[in-house]
Amino acid sequence: MSEQFSIGTKCVQAGYRPGNGEPRQIPIIQSTTFKYDTSEDMGKLFDLEASGYFYTRLQNPTNDYVAAKIAALEGGTAGMLTSSGQAANFFALFNICQCGDHIVSSSSIYGGTFNLIAVTMAKMGITVTFVSPDCSEDELEAAFQENTKAVFGETIANPALTVLDIEKFAQAAHRHGVPLIVDNTFPTPVNCRPIEWGADIVTHSTTKYMDGHGAGVGGAIVDSGKFDWMAHADKFPGLTTPDESYHGITYAEKFGLEGAFITKATAQLMRDFGSIQSPQNAFLLNLGLESLHVRMPRHVENGLACAEFLQKQPKVEFVNYPGLPGNAYYEIAQKYMPNGGCGVVSFELKGGRPAAEAFMKELRLAAIETHVADARTCCLNPATSTHRQMNDEQLAAAGIPAGMIRLSCGLEDKADLIADLTNALNAIG
Ligand SMILES: *Cc1c(COP(=O)(O)O)cnc(C)c1O
């Protein structure tokens, strides 16, 4: 969809343009396979000589409409959907890294992604150097090796809520001839478009705000089309030398800057790992996307209102929200996300675990869930749930105090949310 349209218009209409007499809503192509008149027609698809569909594990029209919308929202040239955010980050990295390669990653990232890179990809022979998102230029520079193939970070990290200096990380990546991959799940392209700041590839857990209603797990990858693989051909042989499993085509030559990365990820990784999103879930994801630009400002408004309220409460030790003046990331958040970031706030209650338990038991609107970023407000106390194997000392060392609560502000009326918090604070002895 043409660049001239605003992000909100793209949320509603990009990706799918029905022809005369065709359905106005995206059709759900609930079919594993597609029929052809001649084997010659189908052969062209297998050779990547013609574009079209033959088996939904590789591509499905419903998914492609939605992926095209997400690519348009991020300002990229091509996109693909995956079955989850985990699959999106794995594919984005594994598409350019192989055994013997190395990744530079921000240490402040989602726990699942941290484990994927630090443990599971290590078993594949891919090593990593983690750097603080706040590291100096010199520290960042020192993390690179001869075999570094990618730099990775999250715009706003889940759950630490640190903010990535995208320009700093992009410039360092480009000095070393490798792309910057940014997981943009929390702000969504409505609040931040990392490609405009130099990121080369953007990933999403669409499970969060994009779906927005807690209905379907999913992921997405968008390529900016800007990274010149051929200029660093020796680093990326998978893109710049012939693929024998596709009759010797060279992705970067045949599909150009704008198409090589996503075509390779589809043709090789989807074919072999099969982490496709179901067309039904892609349809639900698109319903979420149609209102993303209307919902995100409300999540931000509620997040800021709850953060400001909590900051004034004597029973609260500290509040972490990058949109709050005085937060360590306030300035950088203003630079990259002038309209606000997301609706997730974390705060520490005085009184540790017992205070957190008493508080959460009393909440009526905010449900206790491991999920974040949907229409209904939810919360989590890591010490009694995701991190319950740790004692108080271990929690403190990990920067997760026992009394810490992660609050994901939904779309309810903010006065009702604040009343719920007030009531629960009163229950702490
Ligand atoms: C949730 C999340 C993921 C993982 O996504 P799933 O859809 O749960 O697989 C990755 N990155 C971030 C920032 C997330 O919040």
Please name every residue paired with 78 in a beta bridge, in sequence order, or none if there are none: 223
Residue 428 falls in which region: left (phi positive, over 0), alpha (psi -120 to 50) or beta: beta
Rounded to a whole number of angstroms, the distance between the first and last alpha carbons of the chain is 56
Q: How much distance in Å is there from the Cα of 181 to the middle of ligand 1? A: 14
| Inter-residue contact 189 to 176 (CB < 8 Å) | no
Tokens of 236: 């990326």
Stronger pLDDT, 47 or 171, i.e. the higher one: 171
7-287 and 294-426 agree in CATH topology: no
In CATH, the number for domain 7-287 is 3.40.640.10
Up-side HSE of residue 298: CA atoms within 13 Å toward CB? Answer: 19
Report the distance separating Cα 281 and Cα 235, nearest Å: 36
- Does residue 2 carry a pLDDT above 80? no
The second-level CATH assignment, the architecture, of 294-426 is: Alpha-Beta Complex (3.90)
Mutating to test ligand 1, I would choose from 90, 93, 106, 113 the residue with most ligand atoms within 8 A of its C-beta, which is: 113
Q: How much distance in Å is there from the Cα of 355 to the middle of ligand 1? A: 29
Which atom from ligand 1 is nearest to the alpha carbon of 157? 13
DSSP code at position 196: G
Mutating to test ligand 1, I would choose from 70, 201, 208 the residue with most ligand atoms within 8 A of its C-beta, which is: 208
Torsion of CA 330, 74, 105, 197, to 10 degrees: -60
Please name every residue paired with 249 in a beta bridge, in sequence order, or none if there are none: 243
Q: How confident is the model at residue 372 (pLDDT cuts 50, 70, 90)?
A: very high
Instruction: Kindly report, residue by residue over 56-79, the tens digit of the pLDDT.
Output: 999 999 999 999 999 999 999 999
Instruction: Kindly report, residue by residue over 206-230, the tens digit of the pLDDT.
Output: 999 999 999 999 999 999 999 999 9
Residues lining ligand 1, Cβ inside 6 A: 84-86, 110, 112-113, 154, 158, 183, 185, 205, 207-208, 217, 219
Q: Is the dihedral of CA 389, 391, 397, 399 positive or negative?
A: positive
All structural domains of the chain with their residue ranges:
7-287, 294-426
| Inter-residue contact 212 to 292 (CB < 8 Å) | yes
Q: How much distance in Å is there from the Cα of 392 to the middle of ligand 1? A: 26
Tokens of 188: 């969504």
Tokens of 122: 């290590």
The least confident of 22-26, 156-160, 211-215, 331-335 is 156-160
Report the distance separating Cα 36 and Cα 119, nearest Å: 44
Q: How much distance in Å is there from the Cα of 221 to the middle of ligand 1? A: 13
Tokens of 157: 């990290």
Which residues have a Cβ under 8 Å from the Cβ of 96 and sit 6 or more positions away?
A: 149, 150, 179, 236, 238, 239, 261
**Phi and psi torsions of 62, nearest 5°:** -60, -45
Cβ burial, residue 360 (10 Å; 0-12/13-18/19+): buried
At residue 1, the pLDDT reads 58
Instruction: Kindly report, residue by residue over 396-411, the tens digit of the pLDDT.
Output: 777 788 999 999 999 9
Which atom from ligand 1 is nearest to the alpha carbon of 218? 7
Q: How much distance in Å is there from the Cα of 410 to the middle of ligand 1? A: 18
Which residues have a Cβ under 8 Å from the Cβ of 314 and sit 6 or more positions away?
A: none
Edge-to-edge strand ranges of the sheet holding 219-223: 78-82, 219-223, 201-205, 180-183, 148-154, 102-106, 127-131
Q: How much distance in Å is there from the Cα of 86 to the middle of ligand 1? A: 6
Mean pLDDT of 181-199: 98
Instruction: Kindly report, residue by residue over 252-265, the tens digit of the pLDDT.
Output: 999 999 999 999 99
